[in-house]
Amino acid sequence: MTVNCIAVDDEPLALGLVCAFIEQTPFLNLVGRYGSAVEALGGLQQHKVDLIFLDIQMPNLNGIELARVLDSRGPSKPRIIFTTAYNQFALEGYRVDALDYLLKPFNYEEFLHAANKALAYAELLQKSNNPAPAAAAAPATEPAPVVAERVEDDYLFIKVEYQLVRIALSDILYLESLKDYVKVFLKNSEKAILTLSSLKALEEKLPAKRFMRVHRSYIVSLDKINSITRNAMQIGKINITVGDQYKDAFGAFLSRWV
Pair (24, 82) in one structural domain:
yes
Residue 214 sits in a domain of what CATH number?
A: 2.40.50.1020
Same domain, 89 and 172: no
- pLDDT for 221-251, tens place per residue? 999 999 888 788 899 889 999 999 998 888 8
Asked whether residue 19 is domain-assigned, the answer is yes
The pLDDT of residue 6 is 97
User: Is residue 78 situated within a structural domain?
Assistant: yes
Is the domain of 113 the same as that of 52? yes
Q: What is the pLDDT of residue 204?
A: 87
pLDDT of residue 94: 66
Phi/psi of residue 10, each to 5°? -85, -5
Q: What is the pLDDT of residue 257?
A: 60
Phi first, then psi: give them for residue 96, nearest 5 degrees. Answer: -95, 20
d(CA 219, CA 173): 9
Cβ neighbours for 45, distance < 8 A, ≥ 6 positions apart: none
Query: According to the model, what pLDDT value does residue 151 have?
Result: 35
How confident is the model at residue 126, as a pLDDT? 77
Kindly report, residue by residue over 148-200, the tens digit of the pLDDT. Answer: 333 346 888 887 766 678 889 999 999 998 877 888 999 988 888 888 788 88
Higher-pLDDT residue of 76 and 12 is: 12
- Which position has the higher pLDDT, 110 or 132? 110
Q: Which domain holds residue 212?
A: 155-257
* Position 190 in a domain: yes
Q: Residue 129 pLDDT > 90, yes or no?
A: no
- Asked whether residue 112 falls in the same domain as residue 168, the answer is no
Same domain, 122 and 178: no
pLDDT at position 155 is 83
Q: Has residue 137 been placed in a domain?
A: no
- Report pLDDT digits (tens) over 40-86: 998 898 889 999 999 999 999 999 999 888 887 766 789 999 998 87
Domain for residue 36, yes or no? yes
User: Given 111, 126, 141, which residue is the final one in a domain?
Assistant: 126
CA 81/CA 97 separation, integer angstroms: 10
Domain of residue 30, CATH code: 3.40.50.2300
9 lies in the same domain as 52: yes
Which of 82, 80, 78 lies closest to 101 in space, CA to CA? Answer: 82
The predicted model gives 108-115 an average pLDDT of 92
Confidence (pLDDT) at 54? 95
- In total, how many domains does the chain have? 2
Q: How buried is residue 111: exposed, middle or buried, by Cβ count under 10 Å (0-12/13-18/19+)?
A: buried
Among 75, 109, 126, the domain-final residue is: 126
**Residue 91 confidence (pLDDT):** 66
pLDDT value at position 76? 73
